[in-house]
Amino acid sequence: MSDKDTIAAIATAPGEGAIGIIRLSGPDAISISEHFFRGKIPLSHLPSRQLSFGHLCIQGRAFDKILVSIRRAPNSFTGEDTVEFNCHGGPFLLRRILEAIFQAGARPAAPGEFTKRAFLNGKMDLSQAEAVADMITAKTDLSLQSAFFQLRGGLHRRFKKIAESIRQAVMLLEVGLDFSEDVEIDFEMAKPSISQALTDIESLILSYEHGKIIREGAVVTLAGQPNVGKSSLLNRLLEEDRAIVTDIPGTTRDTIEEQIDLDGIAVTLVDTAGIRETYDPVEREGTRRSQQFIDRAAIVLYIVDGSLPPSSRELDNIRRVDRAFLVLNKSDLGLCKGWQAVQSRHPQIALSAKTGDGISFLRGRLRETLLGKSDLPTEIVTKERHLLALQQTASGLFQALQSLELGNPGEIIAMDLRIALDALASIIGHTTPDDILDQIFKTFCIGK
Ligand SMILES: Nc1nc2c(ncn2[C@@H]2O[C@H](COP(=O)(O)OP(=O)(O)OP(=O)(O)O)[C@@H](O)[C@H]2O)c(=O)[nH]1
Ligand SMILES: [Mg+2]
C-alpha cells in the first residue's frame, strides 16, 4: 500500500439511501473514472467543482444515471485529483460500481485514508484531521461546536502562538550561546516568554476536565434501595416510558442504559437494580452490575424515598458512595423531617419523579457539576493524546524555568525548551511518529 496509489471507497453510510457517493482520490482518479462515465463532456474536460449529469456504464452497459464532480490537485480535500460519483443509494449498485473501479486500477481506501492524505499533503494539521472524526461522532451541540472549532484550526492557532513564545526564548538563549565570548546576554530575559507559555499550557490542561465530558459524554448512574423510584426517575429524565415501574420491590433486575442530551452533554443514564441483601442469584448479579456502574459514574444519583424516614442501612450506603447527589424522591407525598437532620457531604435534591417537580433543578445541577458554572471557552482540549502532549510540554517548560533559577548553562535550558516544543509539535503532527498516525486514522470510517 502506497500513498501514491489511487484509492476509492463508498463515502456514504452503509444501507439503502436516497443517494450513494463513491469517491476516488489519487493521480489516476480522473482517468480511471473516465472508463465509467458517459456525459456531454468527457470527464477530463470537465471544469473543477462543476456537477455533470450522465450515465454510469460498466463495460459499455449503462447501470445508473448519475451526477459526477471533479476537484483537481491541489485544490481538493485530499490535495490530490478527486472524483465523486453521486449514484442511487443502493448497496448492491454501489458495490457493483466500486468493484469495477477496483478492476480498472484503483485500490480500496483504508479507514480514514482520504483524511490522512489531506494531512500528509498539508491541507490540514493533525488536530484538524482528528476533528474530522469528531464531527462525525458528535452527538450534541456542544461536542459539535468544539469539533468544528478544532476543524477550523482554532486549537492549531492557539498551539502555534504558544510555540512561538517558546521559540523566542530558545532563540534568545541560542544567540547568547553563539556570542557568549563577546556579548553579555541576560538569560533572565527568556523568562517572561517561558512563564507565559506555561500559563497558557496549564489553562489548556485544566480545560480537559470539561473537554473530555464534552467529547465523550458522561455516565450518570441511578442507584438506591428497591422501590425508591429509580426507574421512575429514569423515565422522567428520558421523557418516555422506558423502564418497567411497579410497586413491587425488585422490579428492575438488570441495568438499563439510555442516552439523553443534557443541554449539550451526551449523558448515559443507567438505571440499576435496587441494592439489597438477597440470596437470589439473579438479584445478586443485578447488584454486582449496579456496583460496576456506580464505580464508572461521573455522578451517582443516590435515590431514597424522601417520604419515609431514613434507615441506618441507607445512611451507610450513602456515606459509601462518592461523587453523588442525594435525591429525596416522592416529594409529592411530603418530605419526612428526618432527612433534614442528615449530615451528608453530597448535595440534597428533593423532587418527585411522579409529578416532575424539581426535575429541571436536577438537570441544572447535573450540568453545572459536569461542566462548571462559567461559560465554556471554545479553546478546550478534548483528547487524551493532546492532554499527554501538553503535560510533556508543561514539564519541559517547568524544567527550563528551574534551570534558569539555578543559573544553569544556556544549552541545558534550550534543551528543555526543545523537548517542550517537540511535544507541542506532536499535537499538530509535525513530529508525530508513523505508528501514532496509524493509530489515529484506524479509528475513522472507510471513505472518510
Ligand atoms: N408518589 C410517588 N410515587 C412514586 C414516585 N416515584 C416512584 N413512585 C412509585 O414508587 C414505586 C416504585 O417505583 P420504581 O420506579 O419502580 O422504583 P425502583 O427504585 O426502580 O424500584 P426497583 O426497580 O424495584 O428497585 C412505584 O409504585 C412508583 O409509581 C414519586 O415521585 N411519587
Ligand atoms: Mg426499577
> Is the CB–ligand 1 distance for residue 228 below 6 Å?
yes
Q: What is the CA radius of gyration of the chain?
A: 29
CA nearest ligand 1 atom 6, residue: 229
> Is the CB–ligand 1 distance for residue 56 below 6 Å?
no
> At 23, which amino acid appears?
R
What is the per-residue pLDDT for 30?
Answer: 97
Q: Which pLDDT tens digit goes with each residue over 263-310? A: 889 999 999 998 877 788 888 888 888 899 999 999 999 999 999 999
Bond before 309 cis per omega within 30 degrees: no
> Is the CB–ligand 1 distance for residue 330 below 6 Å?
yes
Measured from the CA of 224, which atom of ligand 1 is nearest?
A: 19
Measured from the CA of 249, which atom of ligand 1 is nearest?
A: 24
> Is the CB–ligand 1 distance for residue 47 below 6 Å?
no
Best residue for ligand 1 mutational test, from 221, 225, 227 (most atoms within 8 Å of Cβ): 227
Q: Residue ranges of the alpha helices (H) in 217-268?
A: 230-238
Ligand whose nearest atom lies closest to the CA of 246 = 1
What is the per-residue pLDDT for 84?
Answer: 98
CA 245–ligand 1 middle distance (angstroms)? 6
- pTM of the predicted model as reported, rounded to 2 decimal places: 0.80
Sign of CA dihedral 161, 163, 166, 168: negative
> Is the CB–ligand 1 distance for residue 255 below 6 Å?
no
What is the per-residue pLDDT for 183?
Answer: 57
Q: Which pLDDT tens digit goes with each residue over 104-125? A: 999 999 999 999 999 999 999 9
- Shortest CA distance to 426 belongs to which of 375, 382, 391? 391
- Give dist(CA 366, CA 269) in Å, integer: 12
CA 259–ligand 2 middle distance (angstroms)? 17
322-352 residues labelled b (16+ CB within 10 A) or e (exposed): eebbbbbbbbbeebbeebeeeebebeebbbb
| Architecture category of domain 7-109 in CATH | 2-Layer Sandwich (3.30)
> At 37, which amino acid appears?
F
Count other Cβ atoms within 10 Å, centred on residue 430.
Answer: 13
Residue 55 cell numbers, joined: 450515465
> Is the CB–ligand 1 distance for residue 272 below 6 Å?
no
CA 224–ligand 2 middle distance (angstroms)? 10
Q: Residue ranges of the alpha helices (H) in 217-280?
A: 230-238
What is the per-residue pLDDT for 179?
Answer: 60
Per-residue pLDDT of the chain (448 residues; tens, 9 = 90+): 777 899 999 999 999 999 999 999 999 999 999 999 999 999 999 999 999 999 999 998 999 999 999 999 999 999 999 999 999 999 999 999 999 999 999 999 999 999 999 999 999 999 999 999 999 999 999 899 999 999 999 889 999 999 999 998 998 888 766 665 555 567 788 899 999 999 999 999 999 989 999 999 999 999 999 999 999 999 999 999 999 999 998 899 899 999 999 988 999 999 999 887 778 888 888 888 889 999 999 999 999 999 999 999 899 999 999 999 999 999 999 999 999 888 889 999 999 999 999 999 999 999 999 988 766 667 889 999 999 999 999 999 999 999 999 988 888 899 999 999 999 999 988 878 888 888 888 888 888 8
- Give dist(CA 228, CA 301) in Å, integer: 12
CA nearest ligand 1 atom 10, residue: 229
- β-pair partners for 299: 220
Residue pair 431/127 in contact (Cβ under 8 Å)? The answer is no
Ligand whose nearest atom lies closest to the CA of 330 = 1
**Unique residue bearing C-alpha cell 492524505:** 117
CATH hierarchy code of domain 218-371: 3.40.50.300
> Is the CB–ligand 1 distance for residue 41 below 6 Å?
no
- Give dist(CA 191, CA 185) in Å, integer: 13
Backbone φ and ψ for 118, nearest 5 degrees, come out as -60, -40
CA 200–ligand 1 middle distance (angstroms)? 49
- Shortest CA distance to 349 belongs to which of 330, 333, 371? 330
**Unique residue bearing C-alpha cell 429514569:** 234
Ligand whose nearest atom lies closest to the CA of 235 = 1
- Give dist(CA 8, CA 49) in Å, integer: 19
Task: Spell out the domain ranges in the chain.
Answer: 7-109, 131-211+383-442, 218-371
> Is the CB–ligand 1 distance for residue 369 below 6 Å?
no
Q: Provide the CA 68 distance to its chain's centre, in angstroms.
A: 33
Q: Cα angle at 372 between 370 and 376, to 5 degrees?
A: 105
| 131-211+383-442 and 218-371 in the same fold | no
Residue pair 6/101 in contact (Cβ under 8 Å)? The answer is no
CA 308–ligand 1 middle distance (angstroms)? 13
CA nearest ligand 1 atom 2, residue: 330
- Shortest CA distance to 77 belongs to which of 40, 123, 32? 123
Class of domain 131-211+383-442: mainly alpha
Q: Is 243 left (phi over 0), alpha (psi -120 to 50) or beta?
A: beta
